[in-house]
Amino acid sequence: MSKLIPERPLYKREKIVAGYFALGVIAFLFAARLIASKTTLPLSPFLYKLLFECLVFGVPLLFFYRLRNGKPRALLRAAPLTTHDIPLFLMCGIALFSGCILLAMLFGGVGTLGKSGTLTANTETPVGIFLTALIFGVLPAVAEEFFFRGVLLSEYERRGAFRAVLMSALLFALSHFDFRNLLLYLFSGVLFALLLFATDSIFWGVALHALYNLFFLFFGRYVAALYDFTGSMELFLFLLILAFLLSLLFFCRFAAKRYRAKAALSQSDPRRAVPYAVQFYTTLDALANWPILVSLLLSIAGFILL
């Protein structure tokens, strides 16, 4: 037990800024979702979603830009995509899709996937399909990845990768106000963070997040058809579990190989070498930060009201 709960070491207490960013976003999301559920908005779904995403996530990004002296590119890991990261992307994608379907079947039903918001846009015309894909699929992926895996993860990472992954994934899950799929969002948040660490480029997470959104916007109903094709619940679950375990195994192998190569070139990140005891207690500090506690209360209210 002493290994799991170490003695509190001496370390300099930090001023945690990330909690204020998270509280601002979750409070705005809660208010906007509550208003939208109680009133009829005069704007079209496309325009409302566009303004909503830009305002909710764009403002914190601007504040982060100013806070970090206008040089957030390295912190956000906005590096260009490279072909040698494709195996990591593919394996993480298979693990994401198979894992999310398994969790949805276990807790909420496959029909709840991608249903944290209500889609009311017109998809009967080519223009409607394009706008739906762009504004309801791609735009949320860009906004959420740059905020949760960009701003929050980089802020929490100063005291270790464990806190960064846990806090960014937890706040990502809470921001959807979907209790039935809470573990699903937590799981996907962890995978997006691990993909970011493995590739050192936030754009791979954006691409995978967008693919996930687009798939369940337009093709989610075919998951049930895939189950019908197998003709057996046992076979369907076996194939999903097999795909999940194999893809996760290969993802970890590829990531470990990448880290060994960086270590050989002395390119390891010192932010990931924080002692375990310090990471443990600074994670507790982050969880006990009052903006995070208020965010948790707002999320619980969202579970009930939204």
Please give the pLDDT value at position 70: 63
Residue 238 lies in a domain: yes
Instruction: Please count the structural domains in the chain.
Output: 1
CB 286 within 8 A of CB 16: yes
Q: In whole angstroms, what is the distance from residue 17 CA to residue 291 CA?
A: 10
Spatial CA neighbour of 46 closest among 172, 140, 174: 140
Residue 76 lies in a domain: no
Please give the pLDDT value at position 118: 44
Token pair 């954006």 is found at 206
Please give the pLDDT value at position 68: 77
Q: In whole angstroms, what is the distance from residue 232 CA to residue 174 CA?
A: 34
Please give the pLDDT value at position 13: 80
Residue 200 lies in a domain: yes
Residue 187 lies in a domain: yes
Task: Residue 299: count other Cβ atoms within 10 Å of its Cβ.
Answer: 24
Residue 5 lies in a domain: no
Give the pLDDT means over successive 10-residue stretches in the chain (306 positions): 75 85 95 85 81 90 81 76 94 96 79 52 75 92 95 89 94 94 95 94 96 88 72 84 97 90 68 80 93 97 92
Please give the pLDDT value at position 117: 45
CB 153 within 8 A of CB 164: yes
Letter for the amino acid at 75?
Answer: L
Residue 80 lies in a domain: no
Please give the pLDDT value at position 109: 62
Please give the pLDDT value at position 217: 87
The number of C-alpha atoms within 13 Å of 114 and in the hemisphere containing its C-beta is 23
CB 52 within 8 A of CB 202: no
Q: In whole angstroms, what is the distance from residue 135 CA to residue 49 CA?
A: 7
Please give the pLDDT value at position 67: 81
Tokens describing residue 124: 């009967």
- What pTM value is reported for the model? 0.91
Question: What contacts 217, CB < 8 A, 6 or more positions away?
Answer: 114, 119, 132, 133, 136, 137
Please give the pLDDT value at position 98: 94
Please give the pLDDT value at position 303: 94
Tokens describing residue 180: 């039935």
Residue 9 lies in a domain: no
Q: What is the 3-state secondary structure (H, E, C) of the chain?
A: CCCCCCCCCCCCCCCCCHHHHHHHHHHHHHHHHHHHHHCCCCCCHHHHHHHHHHHHHHHHHHHHHHHCCCCCHHHHCCCCCCHHHHHHHHHHHHHHHHHHHHHHHHHCCHHHCCCCCCCCCCCCCHHHHHHHHHHHHHHHHHHHHHHHHHHHHHHHHHHCHHHHHHHHHHHHHHCCCCCCCHHHHHHHHHHHHHHHHHHCCHHHHHHHHHHHHHHHHHCCHHHHHHHHHHCCHHHHHHHHHHHHHHHHHHHHHHHHHHHHHHHHCCCCCHHHCCCHHHHHHHHHHHHCCHHHHHHHHHHHHHHHHC
Residue 91 lies in a domain: yes
The number of C-alpha atoms within 13 Å of 61 and in the hemisphere containing its C-beta is 17
CB 271 within 8 A of CB 142: no
Please, what is the Cα angle at 135 between 133 and 138, to 5 degrees?
A: 65
Please give the pLDDT value at position 270: 59
Domain residue limits at 182:
18-70+86-305
